[in-house]
Chains A and B, each alone.
Chain A
Amino acid sequence: MGIEAAAKRAVKAPLMTTRGLSKQYVQRSAFSRNKFVIDAVAEADLEIAPECLTTLVGESGSGKSTLATCLALLERPDRGEIWFEQKEISRLSDRDLRPLRPRIQMVFQDSAGALNPRFSAAQIIAEPLEVQGRETGQGLRTRACELMEEVGLSPDWADRRPLEFSGGQRQRLAIARAIALKPALLILDESLSGLDLSTQAQIVNLLLDLRDKHALTYLLISHDLSLAEQVADFVVVMHQGKIVERGTRHDVFLRPRHPHTQQLVSACHVVEAAFRTAQAGGQP
């Protein structure tokens, strides 16, 4: 998607904003007084532009998953604010958060672990609809089959269990479940990481199609910088719990400012350069 199109969309108010988001984990030793305080996320400020794909990049341990769970309303941050659709939501009670939950959905990395192995595909997709009271009975099954088709799965497989699907197909299933409630924001936590390159490409294309169709906004969390380089509109880089760089794909990859980003980007480019040389027939 062109830079101009992305810029146009960004002019609209951001879908979600965080200011000073922080979360700590405390570990206590069994026998001594010591405790270890780990700053999983420290003072995170970021904005997610509507109908764009924002990628959150960082190595394992950088805090990106913790940030994602806070944004998905699955955990409460210790400090900071979260604004969603112009409302501050970090201090809301569980009851007040409930109507918001269908608007923010999450797809996880381990599809086998995220889907109930005893449910059939149709049951898995229909579950959120049933819980939120959107459909009942036969309507549930019809809607589940529709969603399966939308994500590229054959409705004939509606009664199969998740473990009978391949990894890529399971992620499609997880995506179908996530879009069942017509969310505004879809958070994908390393959902592409365990997949082969060609499956990854197919799933990314599916996500882009769905975005155009349903006006979805994506927050893709990944450690794979080259993937971000291909498809992200905006890139956010995290390192040791802090956000060290933010910007459009263009800015971050052509003019990285933070040393950590520069290191990552140059490593990425070295690999690409080696590949291009090999393709040209030379020995790098």
Chain B
Amino acid sequence: MRYLKRRAIHGALLLLGVSVLCFLFSDLAPGSFFDEMKLNPQISPSTVSALRSQYGLDQPLPVRYGRWMMSVIRGDWGYSFAYNTPVRSLLLARARNTLLLTVSATLLSWLVAIPVGTWIAGRAGRWEDRIVLTGTSLFLAVPELVLVLFLLYWVVRTHALPAGGMTSAGFDGLTPKSKLWDLTAHLVVPVTTLVLVSLPILIRHVRTSMVEALRAPFVQAARAFGIGRTRLLFRYALPVAANPLISLFGLSIAGLLSGSLLVEAIMGWPGLGPLLLEAAVSRDIYVVVGAVMTSTLFMILGSFLADFILVIVDPRVRLE
């Protein structure tokens, strides 16, 4: 319990710090939301300043921060200037879309990486191993941008899958089954990109951990008792190899809201990424802060989850 309390306090402090920095940096960046309007000759300066004071943008920074903090405590995350809606509902909708993408990609990556990495570790040094290692190096070297553009190009040429967006036109009028089908079709390209980006690293990490674990004396000892190859891999080596992998898994969770920005932007996927990008450029300050805070929250949850799982899985960690 002490431990949980400590982690909760840490997390809260981190969120606080991030929010302060966010406000600070946004303020340091030159300009504000209504600057574009100022350039428009048809809008008078007094209108602009009236709008500014309506949104409280003429107040000094600490006051703005204090007000924001107070409203967050009440559950109100501020207002988006550009969309004219409360930040909270905007963020939740977008975050849901992003999670749809990233959760599928993360699950798929891990489900492929663990068996492949384990199998490869059992064949370390042989030709299967070399092929996989070369393949992963290749994919690591290709930038995410190139990958997604390549897939997009191929999809456009063959018309096999939709080339962007999350849903087709007329989505709401479809039957539930067709809706699912449509969504899945739209998911294929972005998820494939994300998987291809993260898979090489995961496979390598799994492989390294497993090779290390297989070399351990207790695995050799188990082998000396006649325990078979498969059992050695999964019952003896994998639980011990799991330690570093669990931390990696925590990182995967941590990046669930932030890792897909590029793909979303290019594919036109209505997720958190494009929203954040837009908001940052147009100084839609409360959206920026809200999005960053949500990302940070995920990061904290991710690392906490990793530590929690570690304690459950590894009996040695329990007493520290």
Q: A residues near B, CB below 8 A? A: 27-33, 36
CA–CA, A31 and B42, complex, Å: 65
> In the complex, which range does the number of interface residues on chain B fall in?
under 10
CA–CA, A29 and B316, complex, Å: 11
B163 to chain A, nearest CB (A): 50
Other-chain residue from A28, A30, A33, A36 in contact with B311 (beta carbon distance below 8 A): A30
A194 to chain B, nearest CB (A): 16
Beta-carbon contact of B320 and A28 below 8 Å: yes
CA–CA, A28 and B317, complex, Å: 11
CA–CA, A29 and B318, complex, Å: 6
CA–CA, A233 and B316, complex, Å: 42
- Give the nearest-CB partner of A34 in chain B: B319
Q: Which of B261-320 contact A (CB under 8 A)?
A: 311, 317-320
A237 to chain B, nearest CB (A): 30
Chain B residues closer than 8 Å to A29, beta-carbon distance: 318-320
Q: Which of B1-26 contact A (CB under 8 A)?
A: 1-4
A34 to chain B, nearest CB (A): 9
Chain A residues closer than 8 Å to B317, beta-carbon distance: 30
Beta-carbon contact of B1 and A30 below 8 Å: no
A71 to chain B, nearest CB (A): 28
Chain A residues closer than 8 Å to B318, beta-carbon distance: 29-31
Q: Which of A29, A30, A31, A32 has the most CB of B within 10 A?
A: A30
Other-chain residue from B2, B4, B319 in contact with A33 (beta carbon distance below 8 A): B2
CA–CA, A27 and B320, complex, Å: 6
CA–CA, A195 and B1, complex, Å: 48
A130 to chain B, nearest CB (A): 35
Chain B residues closer than 8 Å to A36, beta-carbon distance: 319
Chain A residues closer than 8 Å to B1, beta-carbon distance: 31-33
CA–CA, A223 and B1, complex, Å: 42
- Give the nearest-CB partner of A27 in chain B: B319
> Given A27-B320, A36-B319, 19 other A-B contacts at CB below 8 A?
A27-B319, A28-B320, A29-B318, A29-B319, A29-B320, A30-B3, A30-B311, A30-B317, A30-B318, A30-B319, A30-B320, A31-B1, A31-B2, A31-B3, A31-B4, A31-B311, A31-B318, A32-B1, A33-B1
